[in-house]
Every structure is written in structure tokens, then in C-alpha cells.
Chain A
Amino acid sequence: MSDHKTMTLTLIVWRQKNANDPGKFETYTAKDITEHHSFLEMLDCVNEDLINSGKEPIVFDHDCREGICGMCSQVINGVPHGGQERTTVCQLHMRKFKDGDTIYIEPWRAKAFPIQKDLVVDRTAYDTIIQSGGYTSCHTGGVPDANATLIPKEVLDYAMDAAECIGCGACAAACPNSSAMLFTSAKVAQLAVLPQGKPEAAARVQAMLNTMQECGFGNCSNHYECQAACPKGINVKFIAKLNREYLKALFK
């Protein structure tokens, strides 16, 4: 904890004024960075330097900075969220880098996530997918007691594994087809196994899959890049579950 070594890094960052600007890479230097800086704190320092030298700071999405809101979205050295297992950009720390490193920083790149500025993209498409069926149609009030329907722990754990998705978009950004299959399947699978979600399972999977395609995401061809990039470790088995649910729905 106590060493005061600092690092100097070269950053090659995607800068794009707005949605219509073609954009380009710019090179910056990050100085006096310690191993305890988070990646975003390193960028904060670079931005303070940029402002003080009369330049425009780098715009990037972030909010909770504790790995749960899903707002941060950067491709670091070609890997969404930077490649540390089960870790969002905001939780990535500079001890994973070394003095003198060159780091490439880019936004998510997927047709359905248009770039708005620098590293900021529009992820409305994920909301659109959820709006097409990622819920149970229960009303506020008028529902049974929470213990009225028992749910075996294995089922619950499976649902929770799927429900951990933070909707950051790394899966689509990592996919060679820009598919949102991991994201879509996580919600489909969670609700398909829970008794509360079963009645609408068939309609849900069809609506969500169709919407995913309408939004401009590609299809899944089993590269599994999504699982490798997912900061919450969402498993591709949920894609298999989605496919099974989809087939079941077709024969209903």
C-alpha cells in the first residue's frame, strides 16, 4: 500500500465531436498515476490536465463507479471493459498496467449503439428490447403473498445468475456480429424459470428476439466473446435456454 511509485502512460483515445463527425484517435499522456487509481480516476486526471491546458476534456459515461449501474462503456486495448475478469471499467485499477504502457481507448462499436460523442454511445436499444417483454405483467397491488409460491433454491440461484446483468452493452460490443443475444437471453432465462414469469414465457421470447433484430443487432453464431467480456460473468448457457424457449414457443 505504501509505495509511491507513479506511472506515465500514453493514451490513444477516440475523439468524436458528435454523431455526424467521422472521429479520430488523439494521443495524450497520463502522468503521476499510482497503482491505486481506478481507470476512470486516471482519465479524470488526464481531463483536469486537458482543461488546464485549454483543451476539451474526454467525454465518457460513468456514474456509480462501483461496477453496478452499467453506465461505463469503454473498449480498452480492443476489449470491452479492459479484460480483467468480471470487472467494469470503473472497477479496473491501474495496478493492472505498468509504467510506459500505451493504452487504446475506444467507445462501444455496434450499429445499434450509435456514438454520440467521444466515448459516449446511445444504448436506448437495450431499453427497447426490455420494453418489448422483459417483465411480468403484474399490477401494482393485488398480488399474492411472497411465500405463497415456493421457488426451489436451485431455480432461484439460476434466475439470479441471469438477473445480475447490468445492461452495459459489453456483450454486443464484443460480439463480431454485434449481437445482443447474451443480454436478451439473460432476461428471457430469468423470467422463464420463475413461476411468476412462466405464463408469458412464449410471447416474451418471441417479442424480445424480434425486437433485438429490429434494433439492428446481429444474430448469435456461438463465438462466446460476450461471456468473456461480460463484467458480471453472465453465462452463454442462457443463450441456449433462449433458443430452447424460442423453439418451444414456435410449436405452441
Chain B
Amino acid sequence: MNIFGILRIAIKSLGRNKTRTFLTMLGIMIGVAAVIAMLAIGQGAKKIVDDQINSMGTNVIIISSNFSSQRSTVQSAAGSGNLLEVEDTEAIRDRIDGVLYASTVFTTFGQLKFEGNNWRTGVMGVDADYFNIRDMQAEQGHLFYPSDVENSTKVCVIGKTVADNLFGEADPLEKIIRIRNVPFKVVGVLKAKGQNSMGQDQDDTVIAPYSTVYARLLGQRWRNMMIMVSAESKERIHIVQQDILDLLQSRHRGTTSEEFYVRTQTDLAEAASSVSDTMTILLASIAGISLLVGGIGIMNIMLVSVTERIKEIGIRMAVGANKKDVLLQFIIEAVTISIFGGLIGIGLGFLASGIVGKYMNWAVEVTPWSVMLSVGFSCAIGIFFGWYPASKAANLNLIDALRYE
């Protein structure tokens, strides 16, 4: 008999036991839905990390140094130990080919005050180049200039959130705010970037010239210094990365390459994605177990079904079904259950991913390969768990089956 004929028989006999068929399918549905939702959530997490790394700018290289270095204890102030110097930034900018922009970055926290309003937020001290690296623009007023950095002018640009909290409806431009009691003039408000995909507010920030931040807020101590560099092109980024490392080592005699962290955006992305991949695999394996349990459910029901239909099998064999026909009939029944269950499960998986995405504010993403994986997997489960009951049916003795009561 051809495969379509057997398929028709299988679907018909499944239709005779609708409730049972549905309940058996339910196991597969839940399993497939779980796998798809988990993969979607994992994919979403990966996307969040990627977005965050991409939001840093294009072709960015981040340079920091090993804080626990013991080499700088003699000349440096206690508790510092940071090898990087502002001069390193100048050197990178001037001497390395392929560097588009370079900026010193200090980060600290501070209490902001304007008239009666208080707001605590992160304060960054940077070069004017920083705005180019991060692709930031002013919505009101202007960004500060290189001359402000040279003269350690007490100016700052503020993010939208800071502006709203300190000034409300009022115009913040040219107003004096106090950061840790040091007066700064607001020269611009940054164009709003909104929340990033992790839900962090990117507009909750104050940016000032690094020289001013260094002198006025950090008390002239090198702390948390980073250098951010923007390379000319993606192709050259690794050459630039190596050149920076070489330059830093030659500028700081006696240091090893381990003492500097020169990381490209890609390095960060790879490190982050290996973490989120591990998480995805973990989640999907747990979901896979429920799929396995669903498969065992199929086997259970198929065994019951074979026992119930011994006489039917005998009749079919008597009128001309051979072992292969009977084997195929029961395997196809199992596969039909698992494939239909799988298809409905895909729908449920989409739904579950959507709900998770909506309520957790999480960018979930159902990928085509996770759908293909689920379909393939549920088909394989049907064949695997359908095989044993089907071969049991096919190997029944004709006379015994026919006379079975």
C-alpha cells in the first residue's frame, strides 16, 4: 500500500479517539512550545547584549588597565594603581594610523542640585571627541568644545532625564547647576536616546570636560580612567588594537601586555554572546526534557492503542496487510500526533514568547531555525517512540490476533 493510503488510515483512526489524541498531542505541544519560547528568550537576551554593545558606537575600542598592578605603587597616590594617563590618549590619537577619535573617560557619581531640586546620577568626564565616538548630538544648546577641555571650563551637557528632574518645564540652558557642590554651567541638552534594550535610561547622565571633572570632582587622583577610541574601519580594527597595545607598552616601561585591556566591540560581543549562548542551551535543554516526556506519552498511548486494536490488526493482516503495512500504519499514527502537536506547539511557542516579551519588556525573537529544530525533533520523537509499539503490532501472530477477545 502506498504511503498516502496509510496516512489516510492513520488519520481516520486518530479521529476515532479525539480526546485521547488531543491529550497525547498536548504533551508534544507543551514541549515544543517550551523549546521555542526558551530559544526565543535566549535569543532575545543575546540581542539585548548585542544592541548594548552596538549602542556604544561604531568600531569602538575600549582601553583600561589592570588596577591591581604593583608597578605603580611608588610614584602614584595610594589607592590608585591605574597605569593609564591622559597623555596616553593624546599619543594614541596622534601616533596611531587608523584612529579616528580618542577620548579619555572618567566616570563617577554625583549629587546634582538646581535650586530646590536634587538628582543623583553618573557623571562622565570626557574629551570633545567622545560625542563623535558615541554619536551624540545636542537637542538644545551645543556640546562643549576642545577649548573647554583645554581650559578646564566648568561646563556640562545633560541628558533629557536629568533636565526633566532638575528643571521640570524650565529652560536649562545657561543655568548653573551644582555637582557635588561645584558649580557647572549647562551648555546643552543631549538628544534623547531613550531606554536601551535592558531598560537602562541612557538619558540619565551628565557629561563634562575630563580636565574639569579630574581637577574639581576627582581631587586630582587618577581613578577609573578609560580610553575610548573609534577606529576608521572594521577591517583595520584589529591592527589598530595591536598598535595601541604596543604603544602603551613602549610608553610604560617594564609593563607586560596583560596589564592593559584593549578590547574591541567584537571582543566584548563575543564574550557576552558566549554567556548568553550557554544560557540559551541550558533553557532549551530543560524545555527539551518536557518534549522527551511528551514523547514517552506518545509511546504509552500507542501501546494502549495496539493492545486495544489487536483484532483490527488481525483482520487487516487476514485481508492482505503485511508486516510493513502494519508497522507503517502505527508509526505514521505516532508521527502524525507528534507533527500536529509540534505545529500547534509552534503556535503556542510564538504566543508564549510574545507574552513574555510584552510583560517582561524583553525583546524576544523566534528564529526560523528554532522552528525547524522543533519540527524535526518532534518528527524524530514520533518515529522513535512510535517504533516499539508499531513493531509490537507488526509482529503479532495472525491467528492469535484474529481470535483475540
Is B one of A's binding partners? no
Spell out B's residues near A (CB within 8 Å): none
